[in-house]
Amino acid sequence: MAGAVVENLSNRKLIVLISFLLICLLVCFLLGGLVAPAPSNVQSVLATKCYDNSQNKSKFFYIRPNGGCDKIDDLHGPEAEERHITDKNVVFAFQLPVPRGGIELDYSRWMQNLIGILQIDVTFFKEWELMEPRVPVTIEARLGYRNKGDPDDEWKEYATSTESRTMDCSPPKRDGYLYNCSLLPLFELGALHHDYYLLNLRFPVIYENNRGLGPVSDLWLVVINQNGGFTKVWLSLKTIFFPMVVGVMIWFWRRVQLLARQPTLLESMLLALGVALSTLNLPLEYLTLSFEMPFMLLLGDMKQGIFYSMLLSFWLVFAGEHLMDDTERKGLRGYWKQLSCVGVGCLSMFIFDMCERGIQLRNPFYSIWANEIGTQIALSFVIIAGIAAGVYFLFLSYIIYRVFRNISAKRQALPAMASARRHFYEGVIYRFKFLMLATLLCAAMTVIGFILGQVSEGKWKWDEDINLEYTSAFFTGVYGMWNVYILALLCLYSPSHKRWPSESAGQDETNEEIEFTPLPTEPSELSSLTAMIKKTATD
């Protein structure tokens, strides 16, 4: 009977294959640690306060070059009293990116996306009414853009919206100091297609809007964008891994089709996992260099969600098919309980993402974190997703523990076997244990990466003092680990063209060599371990 490559591959070839894959994994870590910069760049920009005498809300107030903004130095000093400045004629302007060293910079399309977080500086004056701990804030936001070669005053409107946010503040102990207020998520762009951006903000006091807001002195905008250097390294990995995975996946499926039987569940799951990884590897980001594609963040989340769902489902099937507990499983129906949990979790993530980034395709200023209810729902989702990932890992660890325990019980039959067959099955068991430990390590790194990624993305929105250091090496390493792990499974679990040890070979104690005969179309089971269980100890 023919087995899988992992069962019949010689030790020398197996060492060569594993060494090559480990070198690929090491290169991924080194590229992230030595070549790529930090995954994202964070910059704080101080707003320029402009005087709008005409109260023309269709006009853009820009900072560079001079002439587009009549600057105000102090909103609460003598200048404000002389010019009768009110909330109706104050515009806070942010022109991005800011110059560095006197050199005018521009955004690169390699930077992929742009996120804006707002910080409002409110001064504490004893003569003013004390602010409430939770203050509703209404913001009239207008975002514009222009490109190189456009006139300095030709700003085109990108988006405009009136948004409501809730700000948590605590007063200082001394007069003239700033309130300690939370950050406010303002906008998120899924594409950086233009060279320059201009943001104009107003805080109108109309009806009950902003009446609880104290004396605003300044605004700060925390701007977060993906580093272009990191994008180049990331796309280089995708460009290399995509054809590798597709080629190995085609080779794997062709060998399965040569067999005179239907593909097993594990083989079908491996093919589906390869397709999901190829979808994730597809470097569509190259198109953003020529076309504006604001849906790339949402599309990236969807591709990653498909990959996560297939990877989690595969691990359950992979461990369950080798559980060897004499329980009959009829395809995926035997795993409907476990797969239902994965499906519900991935579906909830998809719905949450559509409610956030789906709406941002139409209005980049929208945020599910804008109000208290949305914040609680979003924060609860992140916490539940992290807990679910941890519980899943514990459950998977328990299944793998049962697999190892059952294998140890079945090994008691090995001493009664012939020498050649005993050595063969011992080698199969060691290789299988190695794959299961690699699966456990990959699962642990994936769960850790998912939790840390959620914390990294959400810490600005939660406004929590979370000091975690993320490196490009971790992101590129985990991404490389996924590809190396799935490439190894496709290679090692491909049907072998060799036979398993024959009865006559096992009975010849004087000749320990096992003959293998090519038989590419013979029906086979995927694992020799299953055959070992069916053999009696007195074989």
Decide if 353 is inside a domain: yes
Instruction: Name the domain boundary from 226, 252, 282.
Output: 226
Decide if 539 is inside a domain: no
Lowest mean pLDDT of 42-46, 107-111, 374-378, 515-519, name the range: 515-519
Average the pLDDT over 352-365 and give the result: 85
Decide if 457 is inside a domain: yes
| Domain identity same for 414 and 445 | yes
| Domain identity same for 139 and 254 | no
Instruction: Name the domain boundary from 193, 226, 259.
Output: 226
- Predicted local confidence at residue 313, as pLDDT: 86
Decide if 497 is inside a domain: yes
Decide if 57 is inside a domain: yes
Lowest mean pLDDT of 114-128, 225-239, 428-442, name the range: 428-442
Average the pLDDT over 500-526 and give the result: 41
Average the pLDDT over 510-515 and give the result: 38
The torsion region of residue 422 among left (phi > 0), alpha (psi -120 to 50) and beta comes to alpha
Average the pLDDT over 341-361 and give the result: 80
Question: Does the pLDDT of residue 87 top 90, yes or no?
Answer: no
SS3 content of the chain, % helix, strand, coil (to 5): 50, 15, 30
Q: Between vectors from CA 287 to CA 188 and to CA 196, what angle results, nearest 5°?
A: 45
| Domain identity same for 276 and 392 | yes
| Domain identity same for 448 and 499 | yes
Decide if 135 is inside a domain: yes
| Amino acid present at 261 | R
- Predicted local confidence at residue 158, as pLDDT: 94
Question: Does the pLDDT of residue 96 top 80, yes or no?
Answer: yes
More confident residue, 98 or 338: 98
- Predicted local confidence at residue 326, as pLDDT: 53
Average the pLDDT over 426-455 and give the result: 65
- Predicted local confidence at residue 210, as pLDDT: 77
If pLDDT is split at 50, 70 and 90, which confidence band does 146 have? very high
If pLDDT is split at 50, 70 and 90, which confidence band does 508 have? very low
Count structural domains, the chain: 2
| Domain identity same for 267 and 404 | yes
Closest CA relative to residue 537, chosen from 414, 406, 429: 414
Closest CA relative to residue 337, chosen from 310, 318, 322, 317: 317
| Domain identity same for 184 and 297 | no
Question: Does the pLDDT of residue 408 top 60, yes or no?
Answer: yes
Instruction: Name the domain boundary from 226, 261, 292.
Output: 226
| Domain identity same for 163 and 123 | yes
- Domain of 27: which CATH number? 1.20.1070
| Domain identity same for 160 and 235 | no
Decide if 406 is inside a domain: yes
Question: Does the pLDDT of residue 407 top 90, yes or no?
Answer: no
Question: Does the pLDDT of residue 505 top 60, yes or no?
Answer: no
| Domain identity same for 298 and 178 | no
Report pLDDT digits (tens) over 459-478. 544 444 444 445 677 788 88
Q: Answer for the pair 312, 341: CB distance below 8 angstroms, yes or no.
A: no
Question: Does the pLDDT of residue 196 top 90, yes or no?
Answer: yes
Q: Beta-carbon neighbour count of residue 151 at 10 Å?
A: 7
Question: Does the pLDDT of residue 454 top 70, yes or no?
Answer: no
| Domain identity same for 48 and 35 | no
Lowest mean pLDDT of 100-109, 434-443, 462-471, 507-516, name the range: 507-516
Q: Report the C-alpha gap between 273 and 318 in whole angstroms.
A: 12
| Domain identity same for 286 and 424 | yes
Decide if 521 is inside a domain: yes
- Predicted local confidence at residue 285, as pLDDT: 92
- Predicted local confidence at residue 406, as pLDDT: 76
- Predicted local confidence at residue 206, as pLDDT: 67
Q: Which of 402-411, 436-445, 466-475, 487-496 holds the top average pLDDT?
A: 487-496
Q: Report the C-alpha gap between 219 and 225 in whole angstroms.
A: 19
- Predicted local confidence at residue 205, as pLDDT: 76
If pLDDT is split at 50, 70 and 90, which confidence band does 525 have? very low
Q: Report the C-alpha gap between 39 and 151 in whole angstroms.
A: 33
Report pLDDT digits (tens) over 165-182. 888 888 888 888 888 888
Domain that holds residue 179: 40-226
Question: Does the pLDDT of residue 142 top 90, yes or no?
Answer: yes
Residue count of the chain = 539
Chain-wide mean pLDDT for the chain?
78
Phi, psi of 290 (to 5 degrees): -120, -25
| Domain identity same for 46 and 35 | no
Lowest mean pLDDT of 66-70, 132-136, 382-386, 513-517, name the range: 513-517
